[in-house]
Structure 1
Amino acid sequence: MPKAAIIGCGDVSVVHFEALAGMDDAELVAVCDADPARRVAAQEAHGVPGFEDYREMLDVAAPDVVHITTPHHEHAAIAIECLRRGVHVVLEKPLAHTLAEGERLLAAAADSTAKIALCFQNRYNAPVQEMRRLLDSGELGQVLGASATVMWHRDADYYLSRPWRGSWAEGGGGLMMNQAIHTVDLLQWLVGDVVALAGSASTHALAETIEVEDTAEFAALHSSGARSVFYATLANTVNAPVTLDISTERATLNLRGDLTVTYDDGRSEAVRERVTGSGGRSYWGVSHALLIADFYAGLAQPGPFWIDAAEGAKSLRIVKELYRQSYPGSEEKVS
């Protein structure tokens, strides 16, 4: 049975703890966090040793799989060390906080015998899986275009409680790196790799609190020849459902949590999202456990996990290109 450890016991770690607790083929053996309060709370809640330093944890606990749920600027270094030791990695998005660190992680993954999974768990959502199936089947014809929105709310307290979220140096960006990157990933996965992009990012509501963006938009050209438009903001008054609409030659796909497929002949079909109980926030979706279980199930199989470092690099490059256009020198701010 694989031995698992979690590095980073903050907010999103709860869904990783839940996923491991629901699995019969994995054993949690250690937790790690530099913050004493979070570390002690996690080790007491789960009855495993806690460590301040992840290298000591790797030496002493010797996990087979490490879940990395730390602030963005720590992702690459920890993942690279794990992969160097042959330890499998489940990494929260983004791949890294800079393109350079992302490239380092890509090289480490290519050189390692261990596997890595990026937590783009929304690819496992039932409506999204059906969208991909329909598009791959060819029955809808060519994709003509797509649009997506992320209209959420974050206030100053959200950033003041975790200052790294609002900084270039540790967050690597704002809205696009921390929230909207999931929808960017779905857009490029469903419509095709992005080959050209024009857009802008700015700070409309939280400029007194953060140095990164809270609003962004772009138009993208995909390898399929289709064009997509994207808008995201944290200045909305509520966390509205993410939208993703795809127009094809024979139907329109409308994602609002659930999926509605409207065919040109008047037929309509709906695919409902699963409902699960979780201590995680509703906007994290329902599919972390599915991704994690799938990763563990494939550990003994040859080849990389299907959402690996190379897949994670695609959304990172899109976001960083948007930053390049909007904030000249932003990578220097990060590094």
Structure 2
Amino acid sequence: MSVVRLGIIGLGNMGKGHIGYIKRGEVNGVKLTAVSDSAPSGLEWAKEHAGEDVALFSDPYELMDSGLVDGVLIATPHYSHPELAIACFERNLHVLCEKPAGVYTKQVREMNDAAARTDAVFSMMYNQRTNPLYQKLKDLVDSGELGEIRRTNWIITNWYRSQSYYDSGTWRATWAGEGGGVLLNQDPHQLDLWQWTINMMPKRVRAFCYFGKHRNIEVEDDVTAFVEYENGATGVFVTTTGEAPGTNRLEISGDRGKVVIEDNKLTFWRLRVSEPEFNATYKGGFGQPECWKCEIPIQGVNPDHKGITQNWVNAILHGEQLIAPGEEGIKGLMLSNAMLLSTWTDNWVELPIDEELYYEHLQERIKQSTYRKEQ
């Protein structure tokens, strides 16, 4: 294979965006050959913008069976991601899936199992993993510069959304239509990066989610979560869509210093000696380790979505290592599911979560969803 023949399923904002950079030739080794959308308006758009040589399908399974594609980019509503991915794997088609991996980990685990039974290349569209800021943070952690992780804090409250945004579609911010709120729609990238940069998932979570706190919606729009890690480290994750002006600040503390990412800058407060070493040898009463404030230079630009797409294509054609392996999509979703389940049960939640219990709670909310009542 010299070129990956690509099909795109879902022609909403993200699907159209992917078509844009592919048609502009910004990804090498790929050719758009087919698209699918259940809405006639989406296919009409594709007739004008995708090109005359691109086949149009209203049924995604017909696209998969057409023989026109080697790989599929899934950019549909959240609930359908695992179902469509599994169907692709059954046909030995490569898959690039938009975030989130799904709505609940039970369905995503089934997707991962299906992927493992094939030789298909499976990647998630975690385009923030290509951001040099977070790659440098991961490098500092992986290299031991930060030492052992002790605390993580992420305040991500600059996801402001007005009531008119939620009113723009009856499926938005509903349990039946979208499957969740800020944790599932806005935060998948941060939840992924939170665990990816430090190579650790929490062992348990205690969260407080507020539903329709700032807007007339049925899902969570304000969340504060506390987590504990196996090594004794702790973490806090704070997010909302109803705060202005918002903040995006990630702070990771280790026993050799701390890193802060804010305003597209990475600052490293580096200890000359580790805190445990200083504590074991210092006899002066009040005092603390010598600390250097280092503004870490960030090299390169963020190739964003097209960077992940190029990596996926290269993995198919040349065996390149994936930046965002598809099976890792379950990790960030596990965190959001745990936060919701902790709130619903008013208790700590151990990871991995009780997937059946989460599914039962979700189904109760789907039955009461305003979106379902309108169908």
Task: Identify whether the pair has TM-score above 0.5, normalized to the shorter chain.
Answer: yes
Which digits, 9 at most, give the CA deviation of each residue in 1:35-56, with x for residues without a partner? 1112211231121222111011
Whether 1:198 aligns to 2:206 is yes
* Residue segments in structure 1 that go unaligned for 5+ positions in a row: 277-285
Deviation at 1:302, TM superposition (A): 5.7
**Are 2:338 and 1:307 equivalent residues in the alignment?**
no
Cross-structure match for 1:283: none
Q: Which residue is 2:44 aligned to?
A: 40
Q: CA deviation at 1:4?
A: 0.5
CA contact (8 A) 2:86 2:115 kept: yes
Of residues 322, 338, 354, the one that matches 1:321 is 338
1:87 and 2:69 equivalent?
Answer: no
Tell me which moved more, 260-269 or 298-307.
Answer: 298-307
Q: Which amino acid aligns with 1:165?
A: R
Aligned-pair distance for 1:204? 4.7
Deviation per residue, 1:202-242 (Å, 9 max, x gap): 1354442x21111111111224432110100000125x452
Which residue of structure 2 aligns with residue 266 of structure 1? 292
Distance 2:294 2:116 in 1: 44
- The DSSP-based 3-state class of the residue aligned with 2:49 is helix
Could you tell me whether the CA contact under 8 Å between 1:125 and 1:273 is conserved in 2? no
Matched, 1:162 2:156: no
Deviation for aligned residue 1:195: 1.2
Partner-residue secondary structure (3-state), 2:151: strand
8 Å Cα contact 2:207-2:224 kept in structure 1: yes
Which residue matches 1:31? 35
* Structure 2 gap ranges (5+): 272-290, 346-359, 368-375
**Cα distance in 1 between the residues matched to 2:29 and 2:135:** 25
Task: Report the counterpart of residue 225 of structure 1 in structure 2.
Answer: 232
Residue matched to 2:223: 216
Q: CA 1:14–1:243 in 2, change beyond 3 Å: closer, same or farther?
A: farther
Indicate the SS of the match to 1:109.
Answer: helix
Deviation of 1:92 (Å)? 0.8
Q: In terms of Rg, which structure is larger?
A: 2
1:330 aligns with 2:361: yes
What are the equivalent positions in structure 2 for 1:123-142 lying under 5 Å apart?
A: 123-142=129-148
Change (3 A) 1:224 1:296: farther
Query: Does the CA contact (< 8 Å) of 1:15 and 1:288 recur in 2?
Result: no
1:248 aligns with 2:254: yes
What residue identity is the alignment partner of 1:45?
Answer: H
Identity of aligned residues (%): 28
Inter-partner Cα distance in structure 2 for 1:8 and 1:63: 15
Q: Indicate if the aligned counterparts of 1:88 and 1:115 stay in contact, CA closer than 8 A.
A: yes
Q: In the TM superposition, what is the alpha-carbon distance from 1:247 to its structure 2 partner? A: 1.1
Deviation at 1:60, TM superposition (A): 2.3
Structure 1 pair 327/42, CA: closer, same or farther in 2 (3 Å)?
farther
Q: Is the Cα contact below 8 Å between 2:129 and 2:323 reproduced in 1? A: no
Letter in 2 for 1:99: T
Q: Distance in 2 between matches of 1:322 and 1:267?
A: 34
Match of 2:73 among 64, 67, 70: 67
Aligned equivalents of 1:7, 1:198: Cα separation in 2: 37
Q: What is the SS of the residue equivalent to 2:76?
A: coil
The equivalent residue for 1:2 is 4
Deviation of the 1:310 alpha carbon: 2.5
RMSD: 2.2
Match for residue 181 of structure 1 among 178, 188, 194:
188
Q: Tell me, what secondary structure is at the counterpart of 1:319?
A: helix
Q: Alpha-carbon deviation of 1:19?
A: 4.0
How far apart, in 2, do the equivalents of 1:223 and 1:68 lie? 35
Contact 1:126–1:271 under 8 Å retained in 2:
no
Which residue number corresponds to residue 281 of structure 1? none
- The letter of the residue matching 1:308 is P
Q: Greater shift after overlay, 36-45 or 79-88?
A: 36-45
The total of aligned residue pairs comes to 324
The alpha-carbon distance between structure 1 residues 140 and 326, as it changes in their structure 2 partners (threshold 3 A), is: closer
Contact kept in structure 2, 1:168 and 1:212, CA below 8 Å: yes
CA–CA separation in structure 2 for the residues paired with 1:3 and 1:271: 38
- Aligned equivalent of 2:123: 117
Q: For residues 274-305 of structure 1, what are the alpha-carbon distances to aligned partners after superposition, in whole Å with 9 as ceiling and x for unaligned? A: 667xxxxxxxxx51111111111111456984
Q: For the Cα contact (< 8 Å) 1:3–1:28, is it kept in 2?
A: yes
Which has the larger displacement, 264-273 or 224-233? Answer: 264-273
